[in-house]
């Protein structure tokens, strides 16, 4: 691999054959040298799970004639980043991009997202990272409309460098290119999922449950990702992986911790 071009690691949570990652490969191939390590099957909603009690398999699915090294991994999105940086690439990537996710990863969805967990894992390892998502769950979603914006955002990150220990959560509204009003830097909207467990039975009489839910947005601020997406903007939320609630430390230190 050349030291002159940026080395870009590509992964996702929808699986190595998903149309979203193919669109991301097409854009990144114009920017630098790329390596793809992605799950061999869909891993949506896996969050930051890692494989510790099972074997991991890594299969190269590109040929020697191919200009892009593509690997499928039996593990989670976070596993993909870990094994890529330790077993596949011979130098630290200049950037990790994850996606393009089929569906939203805005607001509280960032917690559950395998797409964003892959980006966060890269950030933990000191690699600048971006998670890309399109608000369209259709497997045949039209990613062509957002490719110019993905290229722009990627080039800005490479040129300006991200703040230390920060990765970007980028979500695109389901709009045509000319309908997108621009890019907004946002905060994560305060929202949650109201879950419903549908109880059913197998033909053998064993109970099982099917999870569904309703997304409840409690936050109507105009500086949130949900507002931006609803109003035709691309949302970019800077995400940190230090989960310390610093605002709570002063109060907790007033409690009586002595036995």
Strands 95-102 and 69-73, bridge-based pairing: unpaired
Strands (E), 163-206: 166-172, 182-185, 191-201
| Cβ contact 41:80 at 8 Å | no
CA distances from 36 to 58, 141, 206, 216, 255 (A): 12, 21, 41, 35, 50
CATH level 3 topology of 7-189+222-241: Stationary-phase Survival Protein Sure Homolog; Chain: A, (3.40.1210)
Given this model, what pLDDT does residue 1 score? 42
The predicted pLDDT at position 66 comes to 74
**Kind of pairing between the strands at 182-185 and 233-240:** parallel
* Reduced DSSP (H G I as helix, E B as strand, rest coil) percent helix, strand, coil of the chain, to 5: 25, 30, 45
Whole-number pLDDT of residue 2? 44
> What is the pLDDT at residue 44?
79
Residuewise pLDDT in 10s, the chain (259 residues) = 444 789 999 999 999 999 999 999 999 999 999 999 999 988 877 788 888 889 999 999 976 667 789 999 999 999 999 999 999 999 999 999 999 999 999 998 899 899 999 999 999 999 999 999 999 999 999 999 999 999 999 999 999 999 999 999 999 999 999 999 999 999 999 987 788 888 899 999 899 988 888 778 888 899 999 999 999 999 999 999 999 999 999 999 999 998 8
pLDDT of 11 reads 97
Is the whole-model pTM more than 0.85?
A: yes
Q: Give the residue extent of every domain in the chain.
A: 7-189+222-241
As a whole number of angstroms, the distance between CA 234 and CA 226 comes to 10
């Amino acid at each position: 691999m050349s030291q002159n071009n940026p080395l870009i690691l590509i992964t996702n949570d929808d699986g190595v054959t998903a149309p979203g990652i193919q669109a991301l490969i097409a854009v990144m191939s114009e920017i630098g040298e790329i390596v793809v390590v992605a799950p061999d099957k869909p891993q949506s909603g896996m969050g930051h799970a890692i494989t510790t009690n099972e074997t991991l398999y890594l299969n190269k699915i590109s040929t020697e004639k191919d200009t892009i090294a593509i690997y499928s991994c039996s593990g989670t999105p976070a596993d993909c980043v870990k094994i890529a940086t330790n077993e596949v690439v011979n130098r630290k990537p200049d950037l990790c991009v994850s996606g393009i996710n089929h569906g939203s990863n805005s607001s509280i969805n960032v917690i559950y997202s395998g797409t964003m967990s892959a980006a966060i894992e890269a950030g933990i390892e000191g690699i600048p990272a971006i998670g890309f998502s399109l608000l369209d769950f259709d497997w045949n979603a039209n990613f062509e409309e957002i490719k110019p914006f993905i290229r722009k955002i990627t080039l800005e990150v490479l040129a300006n460098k991200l703040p230390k220990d920060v990765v970007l959560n980028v979500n695109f509204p389901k709009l045509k290119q000319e309908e997108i009003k621009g890019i907004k830097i946002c905060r994560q909207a305060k929202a949650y999922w109201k879950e419903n467990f549908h109880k059913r039975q197998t033909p053998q009489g064993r109970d099982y449950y099917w999870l569904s839910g309703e997304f409840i947005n409690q936050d109507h601020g105009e500086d949130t990702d949900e507002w931006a997406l609803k109003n035709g903007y691309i949302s970019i939320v800077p995400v940190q992986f230090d989960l310390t609630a610093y605002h709570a430390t002063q109060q907790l230190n007033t409690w009586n911790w002595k036995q």
